[in-house]
Amino acid sequence: MGKIICACGHENPEGTLLCEKCGQPLTEEGKKSKILNMRYDGIAIRSKTRNKSIVDKIWNFFSSVKVGVTLIIINLVAASIGTIFPQEFYVSVSTEEQKAAYYEETYGSLGKLYYELGLSNVYSSWWFQILVGMLAISIIVASIDRGLPLHRSLKNQRVKRHTSFMKRQRIVAEGPVTEGDPSKTLNLIEEKMKALKYKVRRDGNALLAERGRFARYGPYINHVGLIIFLFGVMLRLVPGFYVDESMWIREGETRAVPGMDGYFIENEDFILEMHDNEKTENQELQGVNVVAKNYQTDVKLYKQSEDAVPGQADNLELVEDYSIRVNHPLQHEGFSFYQMDFRLNELKTMKFELTKKETGESLGEVSIDLTNPQKEYVLNDQTKVELLGFYPDFSGFENGEPQTKTPDPNNPAFIFKMVTPEKPEGEVSFVAIQQTIEPNGDNTYKMEFQSVEMRDMSGLTVHKDSTIPILAIGGVIFMLGVAIGSYWNHRRVWVEQLEDGTIRLAAHTNKNWFSIKKDLNALSEFAHLPRYIDQGEEDKEADGEGKEKEGDSTL
């Protein structure tokens, strides 16, 4: 690799813009410009020095800020497209055909197109994930590309800089001191700059005051945080790091917790409370009558003892008694239980009485647990009711056979065989809500409906996310990084006293010129320095307002 030898004799690596030692501009562009481009202090960044192999080309592609910004914008646009119509996971239908139909019916042909292009599931599409991946690569490559050389050059700064470096800073001052003894000036400057919390170094007749250098590391720290965060998000794809299960559990039921071996949970009670306020204007506008106040499931969490048979709900030890509410999940050993959903008033048991039609005389009562119906209910040694068929969610007949829509007891129907001393061979009857059919003609006995018991059901989700600590660390590092990079800035003031006592000063900050000027005002007054000028301002005036600044090719 070629070297660039500066007039001062220092050997710089190829691609250097400002001599590492004395700061002289090394490029034609630099020599001609009025104000030097101080980004990365003119060091050679990798992407500017190599461009031969394919690896170099890929590296250079990803390290470019132009590419980085383009990737940010593309991600932004892609994310926004996903909000035009609701995403599939907000649509409460399950099958593909239903989804397709939903988008077409609700949003017309645009909705259909949206669905067919896969935009209704943008965020888990492969191309969206590739876009995020490319953004991550870009962050990593750009940070390494610039961060390491920048660190090296910031560490090896010289105090004394070349005249052409000094004169080409945005803020410059040159001239004799305005009053007092010029031989004391450097001491005065040192004193004042130290009072302003600058670190001051001197080298002969030159002085460098520097403050807030660590702020230059802010962007690199925040990029590291972002990468850690994205890494954490990716880890969730690894099995075991992430459990996300949901379960329905009825009041009074005890069920094994999915994804959490050896644990059982019991639903003691589901509670729904409503606000009792008068209807507000917003409720009126939105057509909402009452607003929910609390969704709560009182649960007991159990653990199986060591020697128990897996999946068997015996030998349970109580570990926690808790009321799960929205915003107040039950947490145990990294697992969390969230109140997600509920269903009120599910039928629990139905009671019938076996009665003789004519007299209304009762032979006894049968209580059917709808989630756990028995094959037969024996009333005495001559009387029993056999359950020949059970249809929890009866939806009509097909080819003479009763059908059930779902396994949930929403609309239970039964086929009973009633065995009585009078009819020992049994009488068959089909019983559903509001409907009785007697296939063999006129029965003597009937199952008379008595009462139902209802109960509520809670929908809980069970989560375990071992990536959370990684995400949290990433988040904290990111926040630290942005705060450091945004709330502090790197200010430098170079001063040189020439043979004749003239002061030459140059100042630079990576942002916040307003504050460094305040520092300089205080300094000039204290050390009686010549007035500084802001060559950036002059630029503006000279070019005339409104003229766009030249683009800069170092991106």
Partner 1 sequence: MSLIDISGNLLFVAFIAYLVGTFFFGGAIKSSKPDGAAKRADKWGKLAIIITIIGFIAHLSYFITRWIYTGHAPVSNMFEFTTAFGMFIIAAFILIYYMYRLTALGLVALPIALLIIGYAAMFPNDVDPLVPSLQSYWLTIHVITAALGQSVLAISAVAGLLYLLKDTDPNAKTKGRFWLEAVLYFMVLVIGFILATVTFRVIGYEADFTYVDKEGMNQEITYNMPAVFGMNEYVLLTDDVLEPFVETAPVINAQKLTTVFWSFIFGTILYILIRLITRRSILSMLHPLVKKVNLNLLDEIGYRSVLIGFPIFSLGALVFAMIWAQEAWGRFWGWDPKEVWALITWLFYAAYLHLRLSKGWEGNKSAWLACIGFAIILFNLIVVNLVIAGLHSYA
Whether the CA torsion 63, 158, 186, 539 is positive or negative: it is: negative
* Collapsed DSSP state (helix, strand, coil) of residue 548: coil
Q: How far is the CB of 70 from partner 1 (least distance, A)?
A: 9
Query: Which of 49, 75, 157, 164 contacts partner 1 by CB under 8 A?
Result: 75
Query: Which of 291, 433, 437, 542 contacts partner 1 by CB under 8 A?
Result: 291
Q: Facing residues of 255 across strands?
A: 265
Task: Choose the stretch contacting partner 1; rule: CB under 8 A; options: 343-351, 375-383, 448-456, 470-478.
Answer: 470-478
| Nearer to ligand HEM (CB atom), residue 223 or residue 455 | 223
Place of tokens 């600590």: 469
Cα 371 vs. chain centroid, distance in angstroms? 40
**Chain position whose Cβ is nearest to ligand HEM:** 68
Query: Which of 5, 76, 113, 130 contacts partner 1 by CB under 8 A?
Result: 76
Q: How far is the CB of 214 from ligand HEM (least distance, A)?
A: 12
- The interface partner of residue 348, options being ligand HEM, partner 1, none and the CB cut-off 5 to 8 Å by kind, is none
Number of residues that bind partner 1 (CB under 8 A): 75
Residue 479 touches partner 1, criterion: CB under 8 A: yes
* Collapsed DSSP state (helix, strand, coil) of residue 69: helix
Residue 475 touches partner 1, criterion: CB under 8 A: yes
- The CA-atom distances, in angstroms, between 50 and each of 1, 57, 403 are 9, 8, 74
Task: Choose the stretch contacting ligand HEM; rule: CB under 6 A; options: 67-75, 308-316, 362-370, 468-476.
Answer: 67-75
**Residues 132 to 151 in contact with ligand HEM, rule: CB under 6 A:** 135, 138-139, 142, 146, 150
Residue 225 touches ligand HEM, criterion: CB under 6 A: no
Residue 513 touches partner 1, criterion: CB under 8 A: yes
Place of tokens 């779902």: 406
Would you state the structure tokens that stand for residue 315, as one six-digit string?
């030998």
State the SS3 of 275-329: CCCCCCHHHHHHCCCCCEEEEEEEEEEEEECCCCCCCCCCCEEEEEEEEEECCEC
- The interface partner of residue 537, options being partner 1, ligand HEM, none and the CB cut-off 5 to 8 Å by kind, is partner 1
Residue 37 touches partner 1, criterion: CB under 8 A: yes
Task: Choose the stretch contacting partner 1; rule: CB under 8 A; options: 23-31, 398-406, 476-484, 497-505.
Answer: 476-484
Rounded-to-integer distance, Cα 510 and Cα 530, Å: 23
| Nearer to ligand HEM (CB atom), residue 101 or residue 131 | 131
Query: Which of 3, 194, 197, 293 contacts partner 1 by CB under 8 A?
Result: 293
- The CA-atom distances, in angstroms, between 59 and each of 16, 36, 47, 51 are 18, 26, 7, 9
Residue 82 touches partner 1, criterion: CB under 8 A: yes
- The interface partner of residue 138, options being ligand HEM, partner 1, none and the CB cut-off 5 to 8 Å by kind, is ligand HEM
Rounded-to-integer distance, Cα 168 and Cα 158, Å: 17
| Nearer to partner 1 (CB atom), residue 138 or residue 420 | 138
Query: Which of 219, 225, 409, 474 contacts ligand HEM by CB under 6 A?
Result: 219
Beta carbons of 512 and 489 less than 8 angstroms apart: yes
Question: For residue 513, which phi and psi values (nearest 5 degrees)?
Answer: -70, -30
Query: Which of 284, 333, 361, 369 contacts partner 1 by CB under 8 A?
Result: 284
- The interface partner of residue 295, options being ligand HEM, partner 1, none and the CB cut-off 5 to 8 Å by kind, is partner 1
Q: How far is the CB of 521 from partner 1 (least distance, A)?
A: 14
Task: Choose the stretch contacting partner 1; rule: CB under 8 A; options: 74-82, 203-211, 432-440, 447-455.
Answer: 74-82
Query: Which of 101, 468, 482, 483 contacts ligand HEM by CB under 6 A?
Result: 482
- The interface partner of residue 313, options being partner 1, ligand HEM, none and the CB cut-off 5 to 8 Å by kind, is none
- The CA-atom distances, in angstroms, between 533 and each of 162, 208, 537 are 19, 19, 8
Helix (H) or strand (E) holding 203: strand 199-203
Residues, the chain, total?
555
| Nearer to ligand HEM (CB atom), residue 142 or residue 385 | 142
**Residues 121 to 180 in contact with partner 1, rule: CB under 8 A:** 123
Query: Which of 281, 306, 314, 425 contacts partner 1 by CB under 8 A?
Result: 281
Query: Which of 5, 34, 89, 444 contacts partner 1 by CB under 8 A?
Result: 89
Residue 111 touches ligand HEM, criterion: CB under 6 A: no
Q: Facing residues of 354 across strands?
A: 364, 447
Whether the CA torsion 188, 190, 194, 197 is positive or negative: it is: positive
Residue 73 touches ligand HEM, criterion: CB under 6 A: no
State the SS3 of 430-498: EEECCEEECCCCCCCEEEEEEEEEEEEEEEEEEEEECCHHHHHHHHHHHHHHHHHHHHCCCEEEEEEEC
119 contact partners, CB below 8 Å, separation of at least 6: 81, 82, 84, 85
Q: Which residues bind ligand HEM (CB under 6 A)?
A: 65, 68, 71-72, 135, 138-139, 142, 146, 150, 216, 219, 222-223, 226, 482, 485
